[in-house]
Amino acid sequence: MRIFSLLFLLLSCQSVMAALNIKQVAKGIYVHQGVIAVPNTHNHDEIANIGFIVGKQCVAVIDSGGNPKQGAMLKKAIEKITKTKICYVINPHGHPDHIFGNRVFENIPNIQFIGHKKLARAMAVRGSFYIARSKEQMGIKLRDKDIIPPTVAVKNTLRLDLGGRTLVLTAHPTAHTDNDLTVFDEATETIWLSDLLFISHLPVLDGSIKGWLAEIEKLEKRQFDVVIPGHGAIDRNWPEGMQAEKSYLQNLAQEMRLKIKQGIFLEDVLREFDQSAAQGWLLFNDFHKKNLSSAYAELEWED
């Protein structure tokens, strides 16, 4: 009877993991790799890499998903894979594809939601906009109650003990956004970079191009065995895995500085830009113009 029970549990775990495409990328670290696409009514904004880390006493969710249904699927997967209680939901930044699964974890006793010290403000400023566009953009109508801000704010670093494994959370200066948080698992030397790293998906600038390049320079000097990006495939060849993103951002900054020096207006930059920058990137036409605008606006006023 015990053998049949264990077999049933194993098959159930495999079924749930297959349904959400969850893979164990390092011991105790599980990731669902999102599709590389813009949010739409077919994918319901289920486009980010989300997952969880299992310790002996606690589970930490990292990126809860793009809508409550995906969050519920993630929660169900955790409960099938481990009996360890969920203690933390960590939001590495405030974009909608990473935070709208939060609500399904809200009723867990003593649950803590953790984010960058600026995450609550970012949610407050943009939350109503995300909710207003949710039905049109993702086919699911969200409500105010779906915005779950952090109960714990990370100012610099925070260490979380999951039981036999320690996570180091780091609040970064403005880079991809002004509320980027990374999660490093000491046991496996795995880092969850979220959207500080894009692989295949064109990087999306919503913070500071100068700040992002500065953070890349710091990160590439460190050693990681497994790197989990916000979008794209898991990287096990660090720091080579970050070089495409670094090159794109460096070239973007260089090009904008040159255009500004030449006195070329932004509208002309957006009308005639170098298409060769698209090489190797998905969703270039969806996000490159936004990046041009953001970089131009920032660098126009640099000393």
Which is nearest to 54 in space by CA: 158, 182, 162?
162
User: Reduced to 3 states, what is the DSSP secondary structure of residue 182?
Assistant: strand
Q: Band the pLDDT of 20: cuts 50, 70, 90.
A: confident
The token duo for 41 is 């009514």
Which is nearest to 249 in space by CA: 298, 279, 205?
205
How many angstroms separate the Cα of 10 from the Cα of each of 6, 14, 172, 196? Answer: 6, 6, 39, 35
For residue 277, report the phi and psi dihedrals to the nearest 5 degrees: -65, -15
Residue 143 lies in a domain: yes
**Are the CB atoms for 288 and 251 separated by under 8 Å?**
no
Residue 90 lies in a domain: yes
Cβ neighbours of residue 5 under 8 Å, at least 6 residues apart? none
Confidence at residue 41, expressed as pLDDT on a 0 to 100 scale: 95
Confidence at residue 23, expressed as pLDDT on a 0 to 100 scale: 96
Q: Band the pLDDT of 122: cuts 50, 70, 90.
A: very high
The token duo for 245 is 């993103």
Q: Band the pLDDT of 3: cuts 50, 70, 90.
A: very low
Confidence at residue 302, expressed as pLDDT on a 0 to 100 scale: 87
Number of domains in the chain: 1
Confidence at residue 19, expressed as pLDDT on a 0 to 100 scale: 72
**What single DSSP character describes residue 1?**
-
Residue 166 lies in a domain: yes
Helix axes 243-261, 209-219, angle to 10 degrees: 150
Centroid of chain to Cα 286: 18
- Output the domain CATH number for residue 222: 3.60.15.10
Residue 302 lies in a domain: no
Nearest 10 degrees: CA dihedral of 60, 140, 39, 80?
30
Whose tokens are 């610099």? That residue is 156
Looking at the chain, the whole-number percentage of residues with pLDDT higher than 70 is: 94
Residue 146 lies in a domain: yes
Residue 286 lies in a domain: no
Residue range of the domain that includes 141:
15-239
What are the pLDDT digits (tens) for 215-261?
Answer: 999 999 999 999 999 999 999 999 999 999 999 999 999 999 999 99
Cα distance between residue 102 and residue 122, in whole Å = 15
The token duo for 240 is 């080579």
Cα distance between residue 78 and residue 99, in whole Å = 17
Amino acid, res. 80: K
Residue 211 lies in a domain: yes
Amino acid, res. 242: M
What are the pLDDT digits (tens) for 157-203?
Answer: 999 999 999 999 999 999 999 999 999 999 999 999 999 999 999 99
Which is nearest to 223 in space by CA: 190, 196, 261, 269?
190
The token duo for 69 is 């249904």
Confidence at residue 18, expressed as pLDDT on a 0 to 100 scale: 44
Q: Does the reported pTM lie above 0.85?
A: yes
Q: What does the mean pLDDT of the chain come to?
A: 93
**Are the CB atoms for 185 and 271 separated by under 8 Å?**
no
Residue 210 lies in a domain: yes
Centroid of chain to Cα 23: 17
